[in-house]
Chain A
Amino acid sequence: MNDYIDALGLVFQGYVLLAIAGGTLLGLIMGALPGLTAAMAIALLLPLTFGMPPVMGVGMLLGTLCGAIAGGSVSATLLNIPGTPSSVATTLDAFPMARSGQAGRALGIAIVASFLGGIFSAVVLSVLAPPIAEFALRFGAPEYFALSVFGLVIIASVSKNLAKGLAAGLIGLLLATVGSDPMVGSARFTYGNMSLLTGINLLPALIGLFAVSQVLADVVDYFKTEKADTSSTPVDKASPRWIEVIKHWKVVLTSSVIGTIVGAIPGAGGSIASFLSYDQAKKMSKTPEKFGKGHPEGIIASESSNNSLVGGSLIPMLTLGVPGEAATAVLMGGLMIQGIRPGPTLFTEQGAIIYGIFIAFFVANIFMMLFQWFGIRLFIKILQIPRKLLMAMILVFCVIGVYAVDSNIFNVYLMLAFGVLGFFLNKYGFGTAPVILGLILGPIAESNLRRALLVSGGDWSVFVSRPISLAFLLVALLFLAFSLWQNAKHKTTSA
Chain B
Amino acid sequence: MKKTILTLSVAAAALSSALAFADYPEKNIEFIVPWNAGGGADNVVRALQNPVEEALGTNIVVRNISGGGGAVGFSTAVAAKTDGYVMTIPTNATFTLEGLGNVGFSYTDFEYIARVLVEPYVLAVNSQKGWGSLEELVNDLKENDRPLMVGASGVGSSTHIMAVALAEELGVHFEVVPYDSGANAVTAAMGGHIDAVVLNPSEVVSAIDSGRLNAVVTTGDERSGALPDSPTMLEEGYDFSISQWRGIAAPKGISQEVEDRWVEAIQAAVEDPEFQRAAEMMGSDIMPLYGDELDAFVENTAQLMIEEAEKLAQ
What 0/1 pattern do residues 102 to 137 of B give for CB contact below 8 A with A?
110000000000000000000000000000000000
Report whether B191 and A137 are in contact in the complex, using a CB–CB cutoff of 8 Å. Answer: yes
A-B contact pairs, 22 of them (CB 8 A): A40-B64, A43-B42, A43-B64, A140-B188, A194-B67, A194-B71, A195-B68, A197-B72, A198-B67, A321-B209, A327-B38, A329-B37, A336-B282, A337-B47, A337-B277, A339-B281, A342-B206, A406-B72, A408-B67, A451-B177, A454-B177, A455-B149
Say whether A139 contacts B36, CB under 8 Å.
no
* A328 to B43 CA separation, bound complex (whole angstroms): 13
Residues from chain B with a CB closer than 8 A to the CB of A182 are 155, 178, 180
Which one, B42, B65, B103, B178, contacts A406 given CB within 8 A? Answer: B65
Is A184 part of the binding interface, using a Cβ–Cβ cutoff of 8 Å? yes
**CA separation between A182 and B310, bound complex, in Å?**
18
Is A288 an interface residue, CB under 8 A from the partner? Answer: no
Give the residue name and chain of the A residue nearest to B43 (CB).
A333
Shortest beta-carbon distance from A200 to chain B in Å: 11
B168 at the interface (CB under 8 A from A): no
For residue A136, which residue of chain B has the nearest CB? Answer: B187
Interface pair A455/B72, CB less than 8 Å apart? no
Compute how far the CA of A195 lies from the CA of B72 in the bound complex, rounded to whole angstroms.
Answer: 7
Q: Is B305 an interface residue (CB 8 A)?
A: no
A329 touches B65 (CB 8 A): no
Q: Which residue of A lies closest to B275 (CB)?
A: A337
Instruction: Please list the residues of chain B having a beta carbon within 8 angstroms of any beta carbon in chain A.
Output: 36-39, 42-43, 46-47, 49-50, 62-69, 71-72, 75, 100, 102-103, 149, 155-156, 175, 177-181, 183-184, 186-188, 190-191, 193-194, 202, 205-207, 209-210, 274, 277-278, 281-282
- Which residues of A sit under 8 angstroms from B277, Cβ to Cβ? 337, 339
Inter-chain CA distance A32–B14, complex, in Å, is: 43
In the complex, A323 has a CB within 8 A of chain B: yes
Taken together as a complex, chains A and B put the C-alpha atoms of A97 and B286 apart, in Å, by 56
- Sorting the interface of chain A by its residue count into under 10, 10 to 19, 20 to 34 or 35 or more gives 35 or more
Q: Are A343 and B206 in contact (CB under 8 A)?
A: yes
Knowing A194-B68, A343-B205, the reply to whether A185 touches B155 (Cβ < 8 A) is yes
Chain A residue with Cβ nearest B147: A457
A447 located at the interface, meaning its Cβ lies under 8 Å from any Cβ of chain B in the complex: yes
A140 B186 Cβ-Cβ under 8 A: no
Instruction: Enumerate chain A residues within 8 angstroms of B43, measured Cβ to Cβ.
Output: 333, 336-337
Chain A positions 254-289 with a Cβ under 8 Å from a chain B Cβ: 266-267
Other CB < 8 Å A-B pairs besides A323-B38, A332-B38, 5 of them?
A51-B274, A185-B156, A320-B190, A329-B37, A337-B281
Q: Which residues of A (443-459) have their CB < 8 Å from a CB of B? A: 443, 447, 451, 454-455
List residues of chain B with CB within 8 A of the CB of A198: 66-69
Q: Is A232 an interface residue (CB 8 A)?
A: no
Q: In the bound complex, do residue A407 and residue B65 qualify as a contact, i.e. CB atoms below 8 Å apart?
A: yes
B197 to chain A, nearest CB (A): 11
A positions within 8 Å CB-CB of B? 39-40, 42-43, 46-47, 50-51, 136-141, 180-185, 187, 194-195, 197-198, 201, 266-267, 316, 320-324, 326-333, 336-337, 339-345, 406-408, 443, 447, 451, 454-455
Task: Flag if A333 contacts B46 (CB, 8 Å).
Answer: yes
Instruction: Report chain A residues within 8 Å CB of B155.
Output: 180-185
Contacting residues, chain B, for A51 (C-beta < 8 A): 274
- Contact of B191 with A326 in the complex, beta carbons under 8 Å: no
Scoring B38, B42, B49, B50 by chain A CB atoms within 10 A of each residue's CB, the highest score goes to B38
Across-interface contacts of B156 in A (CB, < 8 A): 180, 185
Q: Report how far A331 CA is from B46 CA in the complex, Å.
A: 12
B245 to chain A, nearest CB (A): 18
Q: Which residue of A lies closest to B277 (CB)?
A: A339
CB distance from A197 to the nearest CB of B (A): 4
CB contacts (< 8 Å) of B206 on chain A: these are 320-322, 341-344
Contact A320 B67 (CB under 8 A): no
Among A316, A320, A447, the residue within 8 A (CB) of B210 is A320
Given A183-B178, A197-B71, A336-B281, also A326-B38 (CB < 8 A): yes
Complex Cα distance, B206 from A345, in Å, reads 8
Closest chain A CB from B165 CB (angstroms): 16
CB distance from B161 to the nearest CB of A (A): 11
Q: A137-B187, A266-B187, A323-B38 are in contact. Are A197 and B69 (CB under 8 A)?
A: yes
Residue with the greatest number of chain A CB neighbours at <10 A, chosen from B36, B156, B175? B36
Q: How far is the CB of A335 from chain B (nearest CB, A)?
A: 8
Measured CB to CB, the nearest residue on chain B to A143 is B193
- Among B64, B155, B193, max chain A CB count under 10 A is at B193
**Could you say which residues of chain A place their CB within 8 Å of the CB of B64?**
40, 43, 406-407
Tell me whether A40 and B37 are in contact (CB under 8 A): yes
| CB proximity of B280 to chain A, nearest CB, Å | 8
Inter-chain contacts of A337 with B (CB < 8 A): 43, 46-47, 274, 277-278, 281
Compute how far the CA of A408 lies from the CA of B149 in the bound complex, rounded to whole angstroms: 37
Smallest Cβ distance from A372 to chain B, in angstroms?
A: 25
Q: Is the CB of B72 within 8 A of A141?
A: no
Q: How far is the CA of A342 from the CA of B204 in the complex (A)?
A: 11
Given A181-B155, A183-B155; A329-B38 close (CB under 8 Å):
yes
Alpha-carbon separation in the docked complex, A184 to B164 (Å): 13
In the complex, which residues of chain A have a beta carbon less than 8 angstroms from the beta carbon of B281? 336-337, 339-341
Name the residue in A40, A46, A328 with the highest tally of chain B Cβ atoms < 10 Å from its Cβ.
Answer: A46
